[in-house]
Structure 1
Amino acid sequence: MAVLVTGGAGYIGSHTVAALLERGEEIVVLDNLQQGHKEALLGGKLYVGDLRDGETLDKLFSENNIDAVIHFAANSLVGESMKEPGKYYHNNVYGTLCLLEKMNQYGVNKIVFSSTAATYGEPENVPIDEYDRTSPTSAYGETKLAMEKMMKWFDTAHGVKYISLRYFNAAGAHASGKIGEAHDPETHLIPIVLEAALGKRPHISVFGDDYATEDGTCIRDYIHVSDLADAHVLALDSLRKGSDSAIYNLGSSTGFSVKQVIDIAHEVTGREIPVAFEQRRPGDPAVLIASSQRARQELGWDPQRSNLKEIIASAWNWHSNHPNGYSK
């Protein structure tokens, strides 16, 4: 039996593929390579194509004995989603509909979904709990929530069981040093800070230093990408054991400030990291942290790389050896 990983050549997807390969799983990857990289795949059978292409999905499901899906494929830039919501609904929501319909057609009834804590919007509580209100403040978060709701109804109607994993910021790189984070454009804090350390950008912009936090900068969750990969594998195991559909948060439960990230990056790299303080960005909450208590209790998730210095050091190992990402 094979596991289909959509978006498997992307950042978190490729690390999950690596985790699955380590335990001997047969892997099929579907990726349109819009943001993914062939070089990020340490194994598996790659189909280059789009979720919305029925012929590609028919070929993939008919040629492989797939028993479960891990679904990463999606557009994921908050700012872009506000300017081009149609793009996000068509790719994320319609793409997921195409996938679920083909899963049902071919009798595949288990899916692990890479969701986002952006489904919550402005948090009611900190840390955020799975039972808190969902009120996304971006088109991106809204599409992810719509995808979750679609899975709920496919479960009700067709018995397609799902586990949705909501989290904020993946960071770090694989212990082998072979795969890491390479986006164009880059929008995530830790790689942007490391680009500044490498001299690839003149400074790191800090949007607001007057928040109601200990050092005045925003606090966010940062989880090592390999710990996130482990959570997806545990969710797959849970579905294979016959668990019901569920939603879990994945978080550090404490969080780290922007200034902490910059200070530790300076310590890890030994390089100056110029900082430019700018005005707050509209809609940036002071603190975004997700509680992972349920995932720990019910999935047995036990993050092994939660130390911020370790996370940044693994990212630095990748970026310093791959300053141009996967480009030769």
Structure 2
Amino acid sequence: MRYLVTGGAGFVGSHVVLALLDSGHEVTVIDDLSTGHRAAIPTGVPFYQIDLNNYEATYEIVAREHWDGVLHFAALSVVGDSIKNPFHYLRHNYCIAVNLIQACAENGVKKIVFSSTAALFGGNTQTTPIHEATEIHPGSPYGESKFIIERVLHWADTLYGLHSARLRYFNAAGADMLGRAGEDHRPETHLIPLTIDAALGRRPALELFGTDYPTKDGTCIRDYVHVMDLADAHIRVLEQLDRRSVTYNIGNGRGYSNMEVIESVERASGKKIPWNPAARRKGDPAILVADSTTLRKETGWQPQYSKLDDIIESALNWRIRHPDGYSM
């Protein structure tokens, strides 16, 4: 099969590209490289540096040849930044998605996998674990932008027969177990790579945003899913799209606190992590844990790297081998 991947130079997208290649598929990548890395795209994979805000360029690539499906990862994705720049996030994420979805619908593409988010539920602090029927209540413009796109996909299916998988990730983490790809955001905002860099002496003391949450140790609790398990879910849901559109939450179903992340990195690295308490960030709920029962039942998906220590060990190994990320 032949798949077009947008945002394939980013963290999750690059790992899904590897999973598609490992499964014997042909892959073409679109990325504007604003946050992704050219070096994250495997040698030999066709690549187009395109801004999806450019509808004509997007349409031309989609129309150029037959695609068995499109996987859409390109987006602005930092919750805190979306609080500071709400209209930029809402406009950008919506526009690039609508451009892509329209191009797919008008060129006969029948499958699209959409990188959605648990941030759809970020304002719902009463429900845990969170399943697909949980009330959507975005706690940030980022989450809101993803929900709006899910509605666009609904209409693309209803009016054009474009089947979509709306995959609501919880916290993607870790790195390819063969060391081919890893996490390299600039600036980095995710807790696990920040904690690893603190352990390696590559950054000052870690800031823990909020130590007074109603949790066992006062810090936020999150559901971490290994990025290669997440990639495996994408491969599995493509088969579901032969018949219908689907919506799945993807997580391990177990939450770990920020303090537990620190303790796990300390075990893996053998280093004591320096950290300081900091004020809560707007848009951060106390607990976000997934109920992925539907995904498991309908696709047979089972995470292979569900232990936090395994996730962190893979991320640490990649960082040690690539201290400057994808920079050479």
Distance, in Å, in 2 between the alignment partners of 1:206 and 1:101 is: 41
2: CA distance, partners of 1:5 / 1:31: 8
Per-residue CA deviations over 1:236-287 (Å, capped at 9, x if unaligned) read 1221xx2311211011211101111001101101112101122333443221
For the residues of structure 2 that align with 1:64 and 1:2, how far apart are their CA atoms? 10
1:320 Cα shift?
1.1
Which residue of structure 2 lines up, in the alignment, with residue 293 of structure 1?
293
**Residue range with higher mean Cα deviation, 43-52 or 137-146:** 43-52
**What CA distance in whole angstroms lies between the structure 2 residues aligned with 1:167 and 1:28?**
23
**Residues 1:155 and 2:126 are matched in the alignment:** no
How far did 1:88 drift?
1.5
Q: Aligned pairs, how many?
A: 326
| 2:235 is aligned with 1:245 | no
| From 190, 201, 211, the counterpart of 1:188 | 190
Please give the secondary structure, in 2, of the residue aligned with 1:115: strand
Contact 1:30 / 1:48 at 8 angstroms: preserved in 2?
yes
Counterparts of 2:57 and 2:183, CA distance in 1: 27
Q: What does 1:103-118 correspond to in 2, within 5 Å?
A: 103-118=104-119
What amino acid maps onto 2:94 in structure 1? V
Give the CA deviation at 1:321: 1.4
1:59 positional shift: 3.2
Alpha-carbon distance in structure 2 between the residues aligned to 1:282 and 1:91: 21
Question: Cα distance, 1:64 vs. partner?
Answer: 2.9
Distance 1:192 1:11 in 2: 15
What pairs with 1:97-246 in structure 2 (closer than 5 Å)?
97-123=98-124, 124-239=126-241, 242-246=242-246
In structure 2, what is the equivalent of residue 58 of structure 1? 59
Q: Which runs of structure 1 show a deviation greater than 6 angstroms over 4 or more consecutive aligned residues? A: none
Question: In the alignment, residue 312 of structure 1 is paired with which amino acid?
Answer: I
**CA drift at 1:195:** 0.9
Give the whole-Å Cα distance in 2 for the aligned partners of 1:281 and 1:55: 39
User: 1:32 is matched with which residue?
Assistant: 32
Counterpart in the other structure of 1:2: 2
Are the equivalent residues in 2 in contact too, given 1:163–1:245 (CA < 8 A)? yes
* Contact 2:80/2:281 (8 A) holds in 1: no
Amino acid at match of 1:151: L
Alignment root-mean-square deviation, CA? 1.3
Q: State the secondary structure of the residue aligned to 2:68.
A: strand
C-alpha contact 1:115 1:144 (8 A) present in aligned 2: yes
Stretch moving more, 244-253 or 78-87: 78-87
Shift of 1:98: 0.7
Paired residue for 1:73? Answer: 74
Letter in 2 for 1:150: V
Q: Which amino acid aligns with 1:300?
A: G
Read off the aligned partner of 1:245 and give its amino acid letter.
S
SS at 1:88's partner residue? helix
Q: Residues 88-99 of structure 1: matches in 2 within 5 Å?
A: 88-99=89-100
Corresponding residue SS for 2:98: helix
CA offsets per residue over residues 76-101 of structure 1, 9 Å max, x none? 01122122222222321111111111
Question: For structure 1, which runs of at least 5 residues remain unmatched after alignment?
Answer: none
Q: Which letter maps to 1:81?
A: S
**Structure 1 pair 158/185, CA: closer, same or farther in 2 (3 Å)?**
same
Cα deviations across residues 4-50 of structure 1 (Å, max 9, x unaligned)?
Answer: 11101100000000000001101011100111111111252111101
Q: Could you give the per-residue CA deviations for residues 103-130 of structure 1, whole angstroms, max 9, x where no partner exists?
A: 1121102101110011112233100111
8 Å CA contact retained: 2:132, 2:247: yes
Question: Percent same amino acid among aligned pairs?
Answer: 48
Name which of structure 1's ranges 206-215 and 179-188 shifts more when overlaid on structure 2. Answer: 206-215
Q: Are residues 38 and 196 of structure 1, via their aligned partners in 2, closer, same or farther at CA, if it must alter by over 3 Å?
A: same
Residue 160 of structure 1: how far off its partner (Å): 0.8
Q: 1:96 to 1:282 in 2, by over 3 A?
A: closer
**1:46 aligned partner, one-letter code:** F
